[in-house]
A and B are shown apart, each in its own frame.
Chain A
Amino acid sequence: MSDLDDLPPPPDAAGVSLDGTAVFTITADENAELCRSTGVEPADDGTAHPIYYYVATQVAMGVTVAGLCEACAFDVEDGPMMASSGVRFDAPLRVGESYRVTGEILSLVRKRSRKLGVMDLMTYRLRLHLLDGTQILETDNVWVLPRKEFAA
């Protein structure tokens, strides 16, 4: 018997589409501001800071952060936390380039943690494409959604 048997299953969020409709353009001004906010100058070869893998996919996916949580029946005010983030680049991100996002929630798994109590682990995948459809990167993120309603 699992120690989760006394709990309801997590919402069935796997497969929810995160395809975006917005176009995300990396501007020179914002790239410079972002680079300097992390302690470096922007590159002089036209490439953008690679952390735009996260920024662009989050901003241009089909839902807001609150909406992503809502798809998992989780209130963003309850404090989602990042557990991990992975990225595989097919090409560098470039200043002045425009991108679109596709993606989906891969899984929502309920667990019990000594530190956090009952929580759901949400894994979602986003892909960044040029406007002609060429894929530039794929990223998988895992968030912890603490389920305070199940606190002992």
Chain B
Amino acid sequence: MTRYAVGDALPPFTIEDVSSRAMKQWAVFLADPNPIHLDVEAVKAKGLGDRVINQGPINVAYVMNMLLRAFPRGRIETMDSRFLDNVYAGDRAIVNGKIVAIEGNRITCEFALEVDGRATVNSGTATVEI
């Protein structure tokens, strides 16, 4: 059985190229056709940049992927995320995490989703039952 310790860094989860196709899929999953996720012209018109913007829940899903790979067969019990900035199509995004507490079979982690060339875009904490 894998042994964990406070301070351990978790294996990063990397998204090499954030996909505009995935955003179209998520507009359907979420029943939310907000054009800033689908249409570059809508993003430009709102002064938000020149690439379509990832739906926030996709960014949370990346973090969950990192946690579930770090703790195979683990179960996320709680998770709190703060949305600090946008993730755009074409971005390279990396989720990093570390263990900050262990109580019995519950491990609490801090995480950060970072985008190349910009600061942290999402951060928070999660507790995983292993």
Contacts and interface: CB of A to CB of B under 8 A. Distances in A.
Answer yes or no: are A and B bound together in one complex.
yes
Main secondary structure of the interface of A (DSSP, over half): mixed
Interface stretch (A6-14, A83-91, A122-130): A83-91
B75 interface: yes
Contact of A83 (B30, B57, B68, B82): B82
Nearest to A51: B61
B9 interface: no
A134 interface: no
B1 interface: no
Please report whether the interface of chain B is mostly helix, strand, loop or mixed according to DSSP: mixed
A81 B81 CA distance: 14
A133 interface: no
A106 interface: no
Given A39-B15, A82-B56, A86-B79, A30 B46 contact: no
B78 interface: yes
B97 to A, nearest CB: 15
Interface stretch (B21-29, B99-107, B108-116): B21-29
A130 to B, nearest CB: 17
A54 B57 contact: yes
Interface magnitude class on chain B: 35 or more
Nearest to B22: A37
Which of B21, B32, B124 gathers most chain A CB within 10 Å?
B32
A50 interface: yes
Given A37-B22, A39-B15, A87-B78, A82 B64 contact: no
A34 interface: yes
Contacts of B79: 86-87
Nearest to A66: B32
A33 interface: yes
B71 interface: no
A116 interface: no
B127 to A, nearest CB: 9
A98 interface: no
A134 to B, nearest CB: 17
B65 interface: yes
Contacts of A45: 73
Contact of B64 (A49, A64, A86, A88): A49
A71 to B, nearest CB: 16
Interface string A46-81: 000111001100110000110000000000100101
A89 B82 contact: no
11 contacts: A38-B22, A38-B61, A43-B68, A50-B64, A55-B29, A55-B30, A55-B57, A59-B30, A84-B81, A86-B80, A86-B81
